[in-house]
Structures are given as structure tokens and as C-alpha cells.
Chain A
């Protein structure tokens, strides 16, 4: 294998690993947001959030 191949594989795998990390974090973010939205739609809210709304009103 040429030196160029070693360098290319190293940079390629690093890029893929970093992309996988970013994708994982964004996927988790989307999943948690949709779960919270679903609970909110069902009327399930944190007690502290309800108190904050009361104070605003």
C-alpha cells in the first residue's frame, strides 16, 4: 500500500467517525424533542413549567 493510501484511509475514517458522532447527537436531539412535544400535546407538563406559565399570566 502506498503512503497516500495510508493517509487517505486515516483522514477518511476520521471524517466518517466525526460524521457518525454528529449524526448520533442530532438523531438523539430530534428523538428527545419529539418525545417532549408528544407529552406536551397529551397535556403532561413539568410542574415547574406550569408554575412559570402561572407567573407569566
Chain B
């Protein structure tokens, strides 16, 4: 596929009806694949050996790490959507950002909660205000703020623009989260998978972790497409109600 034909295909999806038809085709396959990946990932996670220091609590890693990755990836999807809103005014860009926000909030909540449940037996504390934990908590607050903003503004065009600007400004927090463990002295451990010198986790734990990460990512994209479809329908309902009110007047 040439770059021009790829660009034409993406711009063709600007038509919500065409997008909805694509979603209807993709969703059953994505949902099925997500289910299979979770079954395999969970099976391998509980077959993986216990850590020589952490014991069985290492199994929290298989849900904590994918949740934390998803918390950041979801915000990255929102930032790309925000660029789509501000630069190309793509009709689906704001739909994408709006649909991703509650999903991102849920995964960030899971990252914080499972991290806390892992921290108590390993560190001896539920929470510390170190750079990693604090920056992820800030991300959670940003998600909640964006949900509140989307609900508070009536004018969709204005709401889309304001949200997009806030999302892009807030994106500065993502590299802070990623590199906080390198830039500051934190109780949270440094990166052990995405490293320049390769992962430091034994393959018996690395593979289940990677499969769970793919399962969580597929779950995110499945839910995101479903939430985008709901948002398009919500906008249609609003437009049709307005149309009906005008006809009646």
C-alpha cells in the first residue's frame, strides 16, 4: 500500500458511517482474540515460577505492569487524537479522545491499586510520594479532570478544542512517568523490560508478562472501538433530537 492510498483510506474513515461498518466487522474478531490471549496469559502467569525473593506476590506483576503500560499508552492515543482535532479537524479525533478517557482512568486506577497491593508486602508500605508513584497519581487526576471537563461543556466543538489543548499540555507527564525512575532516586524499581541492554527478567516470567500485555492492549482497543461507536451514536441522537425540535417549531 502506497503512502497516498494509505492516507486516502484513513481520510475515508472520517466518514462515521464507513467507520461504524469497519468497527462492526472488526469487533467480533478483536473480542475473540482478546479472550483467547487472556486465557493463555493467565494460564502462563500462574504456571510461572515464584520469585526467589518475592514469592508468589510476583504474580501481581502480570496485571500491574500491563495496567501501567496501558495507562500511558491510552494517554498517548488521546494525545494523537488531540493532534488530529487541532491540526486536521478530523471528525473522529475528538470521538477517539473522549472515548479513551474513562478507559485510561480505569487502567491508571488498576496500576495504582495493584502497585499498592504489591508494595505493602515487598516495601512494607502501601504508598510513598516518590517520583514514579506521584507522577502516575497525577496522570489519574488528569484523566478524572478530562472526564469532568467533557461532561461540563455543552458546546461539542469548544469542548473538543479545550480538551485537545489540555491533553497535549498534560502529555509532558508521560516522559516524566517513564524516566522518573532514572532521573530521581525512587523506591519504585527501574525499568526491567524496556531497556537498551534488553530485559532483565527471566524468560519464564517475561513471556507470560508479554502475553498479558498484548491481551490488555487488545482489550483496550476493543473497548475503545466500542466506546467510539457509542459516542458517534450519542452525537447522532443529539443531532436528530435537534432536527426533530426544529421540524416541530
Chain A residues engaging chain B, CB cutoff 8 angstroms: 1, 3-4, 6-7, 9-11, 13-14, 17-18, 20-22, 24-26, 28-29, 32-33, 35-36, 39, 42, 44-48
Residue of A nearest to B109 (CB): A17
A50 to chain B, nearest CB (A): 11
B75 to chain A, nearest CB (A): 16
B20 to chain A, nearest CB (A): 12
- A17-B109, A21-B223 known; A10-B60 Cβ under 8 A: yes
- A13-B113, A22-B223 known; A6-B244 Cβ under 8 A: no
A28 to B230, CA, bound (A): 6
A35 to chain B, nearest CB (A): 5
B43 to chain A, nearest CB (A): 13
Indicate if B243 sits at the interface (CB-CB under 8 A). Answer: yes
Q: What residues of chain A lie closer than 8 Å to B57, measured between beta carbons?
A: 3, 6-7
B231 to chain A, nearest CB (A): 9
Contact for A32 among B56, B59, B113, B234, CB less than 8 A? B234
The proximity string for B residues 174-211 relative to A, scoring 1 for CB distances below 8 Å and 0 otherwise, is 00000000000000000000000000000000000000
Stretch at the interface among B116-124, B129-137, B160-168: B116-124
Q: What residues of chain B lie closer than 8 Å to A1, measured between beta carbons?
A: 120-121
Q: How many A-B residue pairs have CB under 8 A?
A: 87
Indicate if B227 sits at the interface (CB-CB under 8 A). Answer: yes
How many of chain B's residues have a CB under 8 angstroms from any CB in A? Answer: 36
For the complex of A and B, 3 pairs with smallest distance between CB atoms: A32-B233, A28-B230, A44-B244
Q: What residues of chain A lie closer than 8 Å to B114, measured between beta carbons?
A: 10, 13-14
Decide: A21 and B103 in contact? CB cutoff 8 A.
yes
Decide: B226 and A36 in contact? CB cutoff 8 A.
no
Q: What residues of chain A lie closer than 8 Å to B110, measured between beta carbons?
A: 13-14, 17
